[in-house]
Amino acid sequence: MNNVNNALLSMYAWAETGLVALTGFCIQAPLVVTWPFDRRKVVTGRLFRLIGATAARLNPFWKFAVHGNPVPPGPRTVVVSNHESNADCFLISYLPWEMKWLGKDSLFKIPVVGWSMWLAGDIPVRRGEKDSAQQAMAQCARWLDKGMPIMIFPEGTRSKTDELLPFKDGAFRLAIETGADVLPMAVSGTRRALPKHSWRFATSRGLVTVGTPISTKGMTLEDVGRLKDMAREQILALRATLKPLTGVEDTPPGDEASAASSS
> Are the beta carbons of 120 and 44 closer than 8 angstroms?
yes
pLDDT digits (tens, 9 = 90+) for 68-80: 999 999 999 999 9
Q: Is the per-residue pLDDT at 89 higher than 70?
A: yes
Rounded to an integer, what distance in angstroms lies between the CA atom of residue 225 and that of residue 204? 34
Residue 14 structural domain = 3-249
Task: Quote the strand ranges of 90-232, DSSP E.
Answer: 100-104, 123-125, 150-152, 181-188, 204-210
Is residue 227 included in any domain, yes or no?
yes
Kindly state the average pLDDT of the residues 70-95.
Answer: 95
Rounded to an integer, what distance in angstroms lies between the CA atom of residue 61 and that of residue 59? 5
Is residue 14 included in any domain, yes or no?
yes
Is residue 263 included in any domain, yes or no?
no
* Phi, psi (rounded to 5 degrees) for 170: -50, -50
Is residue 257 included in any domain, yes or no?
no
Q: In 3-state terms, what secondary structure has residue 206?
A: strand
> Are the beta carbons of 146 and 44 closer than 8 angstroms?
no
Kindly state the average pLDDT of the residues 176-180.
Answer: 97
Kindly state the average pLDDT of the residues 187-201.
Answer: 87
Rounded to an integer, what distance in angstroms lies between the CA atom of residue 195 and that of residue 221? 36
Is residue 51 included in any domain, yes or no?
yes
Q: Is the per-residue pLDDT at 249 higher than 80?
A: no
pLDDT level of residue 158 (50, 70, 90 thresholds) = confident
Rounded to an integer, what distance in angstroms lies between the CA atom of residue 56 and that of residue 94? 9
> Up-side HSE of residue 259: CA atoms within 13 Å toward CB?
18
pLDDT digits (tens, 9 = 90+) for 213-233: 999 999 999 999 999 999 999
Rounded to an integer, what distance in angstroms lies between the CA atom of residue 260 and that of residue 6? 10
Residue 116's pLDDT is: 98
* Burial of residue 220, with CB atoms counted within 10 A of its CB: 0-12 exposed, 13-18 middle, 19 or more buried: exposed
Which one of 32-36, 72-76, 197-201, 250-254 scores highest in mean pLDDT? 32-36
Residue 229's pLDDT is: 97
Q: Is the per-residue pLDDT at 50 higher than 80?
A: yes
Is residue 166 included in any domain, yes or no?
yes
Q: Is the per-residue pLDDT at 59 higher than 70?
A: yes
Burial track 31-48 (b if 16+ CB lie within 10 A, e otherwise)? eeeeeeeeebbebbbbbb
Q: Name residue 55's amino acid.
A: A
Rounded to an integer, what distance in angstroms lies between the CA atom of residue 222 and that of residue 253? 34
Is residue 262 included in any domain, yes or no?
no
Sheet holding 150-152, edge to edge: 62-66, 204-210, 181-188, 77-81, 150-152, 100-104, 123-125
CATH code at position 104: 3.40.1130
Q: Is the per-residue pLDDT at 261 higher than 60?
A: no
Residue 160's pLDDT is: 72
Residues 6+ apart with CB under 8 A from 64: 56, 57, 90, 91, 94, 204, 205, 206, 207, 208
Per the model's pLDDT, the better-predicted residue between 208 and 250 turns out to be: 208
End-to-end Cα, the chain, rounded Å:
5
Is residue 113 included in any domain, yes or no?
yes
- Residue of 92, 177, 98 whose CA lies nearest to 138: 177
Q: Structural domain tally of the chain?
A: 1
Name the DSSP class of 125. E
Rounded to an integer, what distance in angstroms lies between the CA atom of residue 81 and that of residue 93? 13
